[in-house]
Amino acid sequence: MSTAQNHTDGPEISQEVPFWHDPGKRAIVFQALILCLVFAAGYYIFANTQANLRRQAISTGFGFLGREAGFGIGEALIPYSAANSYAHALLVGLLNTLNVAFIGILLTLLLGVVIGIARLSSNWLVSKLATGYIEVLQNIPVLLQLFFWYSLFNDLLPSPRQSFSPLPGVFFSNRGFYFPVPVGHCAFGWAAAAFGGAALVCFLLRRWARKRQDQTGQIFPFWPVSAVLLVGFPLLAWSLAGAPTAMSIPHLTGFNFQGGFSLSPEFGALLIGLVLYTSAFVAEIVRAGIQAISIGQSEAAMSLGLKSNLVLSLIILPQAMRIIIPPLTSQMLNLTKNSSLAVAIGYPDFVSVANTTINQTGQAIEGVLIIMVVYLILSLLTSAFMNWYNKNKALVER
C-alpha cells in the first residue's frame, strides 16, 4: 500500500494521464475515426456515382415515377393498363407481392404445423414420411424448386384446347387454372357482411362462455354453435337477397379461356414452391417447440383425464407457442423476401416490375433503392406485428 503511495507521489510520473491511455478519450477518438472512415467511403462512392452519372448523361431523381410505363402486367389486383404511370405499375407489383406473401404465409402455417406434428406421430409410417418431406425440401434451393414446379406445369399440362377438366367448368391448362365463380351480385356483399357479423357474435359468445365456465364450471358447446352461426348467417343473408345462382363459367374463345376465376401457372408455381419450402422449416420449428415441453406436462394433463387431442391443444401447444413464435417470425419474413424470386419465373411481383422499370428507364439507383426500402418496410411491419403477438402470448411471471 505504501509502495503504491510512493509510486504515485514519485517525481518522474506525472499525475496527468496521456490521452492515449485514457479509455474515455481514446473511445471518442476511435469513434470519430470510424465515423470519418464511414463518411469518407460514403462520399467517395457518392462522388464517383455523380461523376459517372454526369458522364453517361443519366438524370437522377424520382421524376420517372410519373411517366407512362408502357408495359403490360399479366396479373393485376387493381385496374392497370400500359398507359398508367410507373408508380401505378409498382403499386400493382407490390399488391401482387403482398397477395402471394399473405396466402403463402397462411398455407405455410397450416401445412407446417400439420407436418411438424406428423413428425412426432407414434405412427411409424407417418413420422418417416414427414421426416423425408422435411429433409428433402429443406435441402434443395427454393429457386430450383420454383423452376421445377413451373416447368412441370408447362410440360405436363395440356394447351387450352385440350385442357384437362376434372369437374365441369374447371379447366387446367398450361395457360392457367380456371374455376367458375358466381356472377357479381349485391347478395354476396350482404353475405360477406353477415359473415363478419357472425364472427363478431362468435367472439363475444366465446368471452361469455369462458366467463361462465370460470364461474360455474358449465361447458358451453362453443364450436358447434359458432359453426352453425358462421354458415347460417351468410346463407340467410344470401337467400333473403334473392338467392342468385348465376355462375360465370370459363369457356374457350380463340386461344384462351374467358370468364370465371383464373390462376396463372406462374402464381401457382410460386405459391407451391414457397409454401412447400418454408413449411419444411416451420415443421422443424414446431417439432422443436413441442419437444421442448417436458414430458411431465403431458403426463400431468393425461392424469387429469384429458384426451390426447385436448392435451395437445390445451396444454402442449399454448406453451410450445412461446418457443415457436420468434423463429416463426423469421420464417415468415423469409417467405416474404423469397417471394422476390418471382422475377425468375415471370410472375409480376414487386421486384419483377421494378426490374422492368430499371431496364426501361435506366434509373438503376432509384429502382434498387425503392426495392430495398419497400422490403425493409415490409420486414419491419411483419416483425412489429409478430413482436406484439409474442408479447401477448408471453408468459406472465409473478
Partner 1 sequence: MRTPIPASAVEDLKPPVSSAGPLGWLRANLFKGPFNSLLTLFILFCLYKMAPPLIRWAFIDSYWFSDADVCRAGDGACWSVVSQNLRFILFGFYPYLLQWRPAMAVLILIGLFFYSRDTGRWNRRLGVVWAAGLVVMGILMHGGVLGLAEVETDQWGGISLTLLLALFGLTAAYPLGVLLALGRRSRLPAIKTVCVIYIELIRGVPLISMLFMASVMFPLFLPEGVTINKILRAQAAIILFTAAYIAEVVRGGLQAIPRGQYEAAESLGLNYSQKMRLIILPQALKIVIPPTVSILISAFKDTSLVVIIGLFDLLKTTQVTLSNPAWIRFSAEAYLFIAVLYFLGCFSMSNFSRHLEKELKA
* Minimum CB–partner distance for residue 343 and partner 1 (Å): 6
* Minimum CB–partner distance for residue 23 and partner 1 (Å): 9
Nearer residue to partner 1 within complex by CB, 106 or 376 = 376
Type of residue numbered 356: T
Nearer residue to partner 1 within complex by CB, 7 or 211 = 7
Contacts of 70 (CB under 8 A, 6+ apart): 82, 83, 360
* Minimum CB–partner distance for residue 196 and partner 1 (Å): 34
* Minimum CB–partner distance for residue 40 and partner 1 (Å): 13
* Minimum CB–partner distance for residue 281 and partner 1 (Å): 11
* Minimum CB–partner distance for residue 360 and partner 1 (Å): 13
Residue 296 · residue 353 · CB < 8 Å: no
Cell numbers at 125, concatenated: 409410417
Cα–Cα dist 348/74, whole Å: 7
Nearer residue to partner 1 within complex by CB, 247 or 365 = 365
* Minimum CB–partner distance for residue 123 and partner 1 (Å): 5
* Minimum CB–partner distance for residue 8 and partner 1 (Å): 18
Nearer residue to partner 1 within complex by CB, 198 or 353 = 353
Residues that bind partner 1 (CB under 8 A): 27, 30-32, 34-35, 38, 45, 48-49, 51-53, 55, 122-126, 129, 135-136, 138-145, 147-148, 151-152, 154-155, 337-338, 340-341, 343-344, 351, 355, 358, 364-365, 367-368, 371-372, 375-376, 379-380
Nearer residue to partner 1 within complex by CB, 81 or 159 = 159
Nearer residue to partner 1 within complex by CB, 120 or 344 = 344
Cα–Cα dist 361/358, whole Å: 5
Nearer residue to partner 1 within complex by CB, 264 or 379 = 379
Nearer residue to partner 1 within complex by CB, 198 or 378 = 378
